[in-house]
Structure 1
Amino acid sequence: MAVVATIRQRRCFVLVLGTAIVVAFSALFGTTSGAALVGDSCRASSSTSDGGGCGKGLRCTTCVPPPGTGPAACARTTPVDPKTHGTGLPFNRYSWLTTHNSFAVVGTKSPLGSAIISPPNQEDSVTDQLKNGVRGLMLDAYDFNDAVWFCHSFHGRCLTFTAYVPALSVLTEVRVFLDANPSEVVTVFLEDYAAPGSLSNTFNAAGLSKYWFPEAQMPSPSKGGGDWPLLRDMIADNHRLIVFTSKKGKQGTEGLAYQWDYVVETQYGSEGMADGSCPKRTESKPMDSKAQSLVLLNFFTSNPSQSWACSNNSAPLISRLNACYHASAKRWPNYIANGRLQCGHDNIAHCKISSASAPAPASASSPAPASASSPSPAPAPDFAATSPAISSSPGPAPGPLNSYY
């Protein structure tokens, strides 16, 4: 998740848990006096309780493929919760960790007893992803085996060897998390191949209807978009589950919001990762369209790779964020979607001191602070990935590309 402002004269991005980025403050690093800070060198092989010399809340890790072969640096291991900086901003002023194919977990055993040959994208269960700070889930829904299933498949069909898990199982995990965490908001993006009625029945069966954010209350694209409700109001109203579908026409029958009426989205896969560019996904409106209030940035290779995700999610991600900030009418992404956890589960992009002053930290009492995804013009970002533990070149992905989305 992302905090919503920057400390004066210092900005940095911290990649947490390998799934997306967190905007963080040096003031929040919480390191002890004399301890190494985020990005500082450390002792990766240390078995002592001092974390290789890193400060509190940090761990010593390496991030050069293959994992563990490069210099070590201190990395943050827990995300910064944006709610600690107030919930008084519109929902579209926050950024959230998002996982691609969230259900496609390494080591999943098919409930059908068949081998799963489609590649996994995550190392943690959906429950653990949510506990680790993920707030956006990208799920591929199919009618299969007399139910809705989440499958990592192709050509709009789920097969026994691409079927990961019944949708009800994953959606129940989401409901259990929301039950236990009454101040959290989760967004679900559905790549939707299900027949009309299938998904709404499954969400209802999972007990999620009580958390549903009504499509009628989303900023209307026909009226130019605009701000979403305040985060604190969404929490108070218990509208804590936002669901988007890729299939148009389900608003009236199932209450499922058509994603590209409300979200602009970058191209997914290797095609969308070119340095310095920010191409839109085919179905999306132009990235600078303000009729859509939310911005989704995809950042993952077509071929999931644990080793190469580490370097991809370093300097190239920072470059991509800068490019998409400008391409999206100077808005930061609300969702940053990564497809694979990385070596050691952490990585950092080092802070850089900026000569330009930035707004003071946001709070619920500040009605109009700068934010990580502010729709109003803002100074160009000034970030750098300077840690020696970070490779700025993602290199070739091992193995052939595939046609999976």
Structure 2
Amino acid sequence: MAGDRALPAPAALVRLAAVGFLLMLCSSPAAVGVVSARKVGQTCALDRNCAAGLHCETCVANGNVRPRCTRVAPVDPQTKARDLPFNRYAWLTTHNSFARLGQRSQTGVAIATPWSQQDTVTEQLNNGVRGLMLDMYDFRNDIWLCHSYGGICQNFTAFQPAVNVLREVERFLSRNRAEVVTIFVEDYVESPMGLTRVLNASGLARYMLPVWRMPKTGGDWPLLSDMVRDDHRLLVFTSKAAKEAAEGIAYEWRYVVENQYGTKGMVRGTCHNRAESAAMNDLSRSLVLVNYFRDLPAFPEACKDNSAPLMDALAACHAKSGDRWANYIAVDFYKRSDRGGAAEATDKANGGLVCGCGSISACNANGTCTPRHGRTPKGIFNASSDAAAWRPPSSLQWQRLVLLPALLAVLRL
């Protein structure tokens, strides 16, 4: 009919389809299913948007409501130096490593005690955690991991038999022949040879560093490389002094100085020793443990605690410990931060211990430090939008070079 609008010619349809297709290829990464590897502090939607060793999360407690890529794993100090004494390394440590968020008790009763971590012990070890804090109790004619009170494990404070988690550690050590793990036992076990039995049952006893190899009056520990060579790749410390003589398990505070745990230990600028420990600057103990976690674990606040305040606490304890950097840095919810978190704190301590640099990532094989250039200031993230920050990956570069001229040619038809 005369009033009907004419249908587009086939050539016009082809041109429109070509323009749409070319624009899709040359536009944002989301349009073609490309996932960019975002760096620390850049915005993200999913963990897979972030580079290796990072994950995607928010830190509302610090005012960061947009999800950003944050660090999980510290740099392995063995990539820089293997032949230093063990007390010249720092290790990321998890407080109440067994108390996983949302976990139910293997008694079948709902847990009525706080959780302290987000993932399993195996996942923690795979993410670079090398220190584990485990609370062990006599329970049900066995040794259980409990987060309890009064020295008594209850159905609603019991997580699981200790042998289960210790077997996770054994599997990790058997598959990773160069790794060393430390276990700090908050020890409520009264049954005779109870710790020895559970260590034997898990298969871990064969990895334990003998007490006779530990320095009693300060000084250097065995070389890390020697510990690996001799397969003495597990340190176990107990909070009960008598068990060193009775079971050959090292009494922690004969070898370690440790600051006050809990909220009292988080006062800015302070680093007091806990009651059982010698003074932080007592050089007759060669290892330094820094705790930084609240009396009651707080998942929302942990990202703030594990950021700038943790770095401040690390520096304060360095000053109070005779200018010694922490060998163990213990936190709740180790994956939570607003940027580098507990991983960055561990890198800082390793930088000081291994080569005297500001971070282990700056250490060179010859003992010098690599200058750091263009670092984003603390607390400041990339302010550009996702679209402005995106750059096409190499797999799309040819499309830009070839298809854009083709698009212009189509438009001239």
* Same fold per superposition (TM over 0.5): yes
Equivalent residue for 1:161, pick from 144, 147, 156? 156
Give yes or no for the alignment of 1:247 onto 2:249.
Answer: no
Q: Secondary structure at the match of 1:234?
A: helix
How big is the shift at 1:387?
A: 1.8
1:80 Cα deviation (Å)? 1.3
Distance 2:76 2:60 in 1: 28
Match of 2:271 in 1: 278
Q: Does 1:386 align with 2:378?
A: yes
Structure 1 stretches of 4+ with a deviation exceeding 6 A read: 349-352
Q: Which moved more, 1:229-238 or 1:249-258?
A: 249-258
TM-score, reference length from structure 2: 0.72
Alignment-derived partner of residue 208 in structure 2: 212
Q: 2:85 aligned to 77, 90, 110, which one? A: 90
Equivalent position amino acid for 2:248 in 1 = G
Distance 2:98 2:47 in 1: 35
2:26 matched residue in structure 1: none
Which residue among 61, 64, 77 is the counterpart of 1:65?
Answer: 61
TM-fit CA distance, 1:108: 1.8
Offset at 1:192? 0.5
Q: Which residue of 2 aligns with 1:193?
A: 188
What is the CA-CA distance between 1:86 and the residue it aligns to? Answer: 1.9
Once residues 268 and 304 of structure 1 are traced to their aligned partners in structure 2, the CA distance between those partners, rounded to angstroms, is 12
- 2:105 pairs, out of 103, 110, 117, with 110
Check 1:183–1:73 CA distance in 2 against 1; reply closer, same or farther (3 A cut): same
- Alpha carbons of 1:297 and 1:358: their partners in 2 closer, same or farther (altered >3 Å)? closer
Question: For each residue in 1:235-271, what CA deviation from the matched residue of structure 2 results, as whole angstroms up to 9, or x when unmatched?
Answer: 0000001000000111122111000000000101111
SS at match of 2:134: strand
Of 210-219 and 334-343, more deviation after overlay is shown by: 334-343
Tell me which residue corresponds to 1:125.
120
Deviations 1:269-305 (A, max 9, x none): 1110001111111100000001000000000011111
Cα distance between partner residues in 2 of 1:268 and 1:215: 26
Higher RCO (C-alpha 8 Å, min separation 6): 1
* Structure 1 Cα separation of the partners of residues 104 and 56 of structure 2: 32
Q: Say which is worse superposed, 56-65 or 303-312, in terms of deviation.
A: 56-65
* Structure 1 residue 36 displacement after superposition: 6.8
Contact 1:103 1:170 in 2 (8 A): yes
Percentage of pairs with the same residue: 48
Q: Distance in 1 between matches of 2:98 and 2:202?
A: 16
- Where does residue 294 of structure 2 map in the other structure? 301
Superposition deviation, residue 346 in structure 1: 5.9
Cα pair distance change 1:228/1:370, threshold 3 Å: farther
Task: Give the deviation of 1:107 after TM superposition.
Answer: 2.1
Structure exhibiting the larger radius of gyration computed from Cα positions: 2
Q: Secondary structure at the match of 1:251?
A: helix
1:143-199 per-residue CA deviation (whole Å, 9 max, x = no partner) reads: 110001110001111111111110111111111111111110000000111123001
Does residue 142 in structure 1 map to residue 144 in structure 2? no
Aligned counterpart, 1:99: 94
Assess if the C-alpha contact under 8 Å between 1:309 and 1:342 holds in 2: no
Q: Taking structure 1 as reference, are residues 236 and 190 closer, same or farther at Cα in structure 2, changes over 3 Å only?
A: same
Cα distance in 2 for residues equivalent to 1:191 and 1:142? 9
TM-score w.r.t. the length of structure 1 is: 0.74
Q: Does the aligned pair in 2 maintain the 1:71–1:389 contact within 8 Å?
A: no
SS at match of 2:60: coil
In 2, distance between residues paired with 1:284 and 1:385?
37
Asked if structure 2 preserves the Cα contact closer than 8 Å seen for 1:137 and 1:189, the reply is yes
The question of 1:337 aligning with 2:330 is answered yes
Question: What do you get for the CA RMSD once the two structures are aligned?
Answer: 3.1
More helix by share: 2
Structure 2: 5+ residue stretches without partners: 1-35, 349-354, 370-374, 383-413
**Structure 1 unaligned blocks of 5 or more:** 1-33, 372-382, 391-405
Please tell me whether the aligned partners of residues 43 and 66 of structure 2 are also in contact (alpha carbons under 8 angstroms). Answer: no
